[in-house]
Every structure is written in C-alpha cells, then in structure tokens.
Structure 1
Amino acid sequence: MNDTAKSTSLCDASDEALALWAKGGDDGALAILIKRYGSFVHARARSYSRGGPDADDLYQEGMIALLKAVRNYREDAPGRFKTFAAVCVNNKLISTVTAHMRDKNAPMRSYLSLGEDVPEEALASPGDDPEQLLIASEETNARNRQIATLLSPFERQVLRLYLSSYSYDEMSRELGSSSKAVDNALQRVRRKLRSVFQ
C-alpha cells in the first residue's frame, strides 16, 4: 500500500482502530487521533482554566492524558475510545486543577464546571467528503514529516515504547539508558508535540 492510500485508509479508520494501531507504534494513526481530539482537549483546557491554572498548561496535561489513553486502550474494553479518552482527559484536568487549588490554599471556584458535557462536534471526525479526506491526509503527512524532523531517533523510540505501555524501567532496559534519560526524552516529546499540534 502506498503512502497516499495508507493515509486515506487511516483517515477513514475508526478511533478504536487508530488507537490500537497507534499503541502498536503507528505514528500516522497517532497523528490522526491527536488531530481529531486536539480541539476537544483545547476546549476542555479552556473550560477548566477559569480561575485555575493557565489554559496552555492544562492543554499540555490534557494531551499527555490523551497519549496515556492511547497507551492504555484495550481492544476488549467496553464502550468507545472517545468515551475512554474523554474520561482520561477530564480526570487529568480535574486532578491538575484540584492540585493547583490545593497549592494555592484556595477553595474550588463555584463557577468552575467539572462535570460539563462534552459537545459532540468537538470530537467530530473528518466527513465523507473526498476533498476533506484528501486535505486531512495531506495535513497528516505534513505533520508526520514535522514529527520525524522534530523528534530525535531516541525520542521516537521512547514515544513508541511509551504508547506500547512500557514502564520507565522497561523503557530504560529496552533502550539501554537511564530512567532519567527516558523521562527527559518524554518531556521533550511533550513540548515538541505541543508545538506541532496546538
């Protein structure tokens, strides 16, 4: 299968299939999931930032929660990936805001809505319009090239293992590196992915 055909099939794939492929190390599947869920994470971060941490910091935490949702998603899990990802992101944002408020010794603000429903349009997948699919495919290819350029070979290996549910110790052994080097690499990956997908 050539790159264009593969990109088109990835764009047509369900979130569940993309999550499993991304967990197996498919960067293209991961890029599409990040694109599909980026606006949702951004909207949730803005919602939780009222009276709390900075929206950009929350967005970063939300994207890490999305990556963890991919890493922890199981084929036999009940329900849809969208539901699982939304729970993971919301739980992470709630815990981040709660920790922030605790650190500030301030009560949770009554206007901070932690149980707000997720708008369906925020998680919309690309439509069936061939033009939109082609545009999405080209954008995915461009982002994949950006990722390949931005991430070092070590960072790509760390991200692949992280998404395959390896612990820090397992990643260290697999890569012949220290846990600290793995953690530093994941921090760099997080910053670089934020610059590409924000």
Structure 2
Amino acid sequence: MPHLTPLLLQQAQAGQETAIAAVLAHMMPMLRRCAAQGVCPGLEYDDAVQEGIIGLFSAVKMFDASRGAAFETYASTCIQNAVIAAQRAAGRKKHGPLNQSVPLEENHPAPGPEEIAIRNEQMNATFQAIHTRLSGFEQEVLALFIDGNSYEQIARQLGRTPKAVENALFRLRRKLRQEQPASKL
C-alpha cells in the first residue's frame, strides 16, 4: 500500500493520474469496507464501491491540509457520506419505475426454442441450488430480501440481528455464485 505524502496529495489534486491511482490504492481497503456496509436493496456492492470512489475523488479535490485534519480521516468521511447518500437514494426507489419498466418497442426477435430451453435449464439449476445449497434460514432471508425488505426488517421478522441477516446474504451469494458463476446476485 503506497504511503500518502503531502506531495502525493498535491500531485493528485493537480490531476496527475499516477498520484490519483496511488491515493485510490491506499484508500481502497477502507473504501471496500464502507461499500460492503452500504449494501442494501437497490444498492449492490459494486455500485456502493463506485459511489465511494466518487466520494474519494471529491475528497482529493476538496482537501485542505491547513484545516488540521488528516487526509485519511477527511477522505473516509467523504466516502462514508457518498455511500450513505447512495443508500438513501436507493431506499427512495425514485427510479424504480424506470428500472422495472418494459420498453414499448421491442427490437429484439423473440427467443427461439433452444434459447428458451437453455434459460429454463439455468433457472431450474438456480432453484435447485437454492433448495439444496442454502440453509432454511438463508432461504427465508433470500425470500424476504427479494421482496424488498431491509436488513433490519428481515432481522425483526426472523427474530435475528441485522448482522446475522447480512452474514446470511453474504453466504448465500457466495454459494449461488459457486453454483452458477455467470449469474449476478
């Protein structure tokens, strides 16, 4: 992990790509932790990481060493605020109708029988993996999560802690990815 020096920060603020990459590499472990904590219905891990990176770039641009704060402290606050803002936006479901809408004009031909059969096999394999690889608790968590419940709501309904729900979602994603690497959960 590269060490952040005042010179490196100045170079990053000046727009030097290698300096920006070094700052990003230095802050990435913290950024990933923050993004993992920000995952919620409507905000996937990769999206939370992107929001955190945007927060980091803002921190680089706005950081003023004369104010007395360490860059890492300032940047971590900016990253956390960016992820929290993304969580709030995802929770508002403002863009839900756009994300779930179906285009009026279909320019794609209807799938052929072979493609339908392949999709059905993939779907059946996914359902089979859910029933054979996931524990009962993980299946309940998945069903409630798919219904749009937050970690806290799921925890309340199942009499568990939000951390237990988060851990169950992590485990079930890993199990299902192992089953079907091409699927995106």
The two structures have a TM-score, normalised by structure 2, of 0.48
Which structure is richer in relative contact order (CA contacts within 8 A, separation 6 or more)?
Answer: 1
Structure exhibiting the larger radius of gyration computed from Cα positions: 2
The two structures have a TM-score, normalised by structure 1, of 0.45
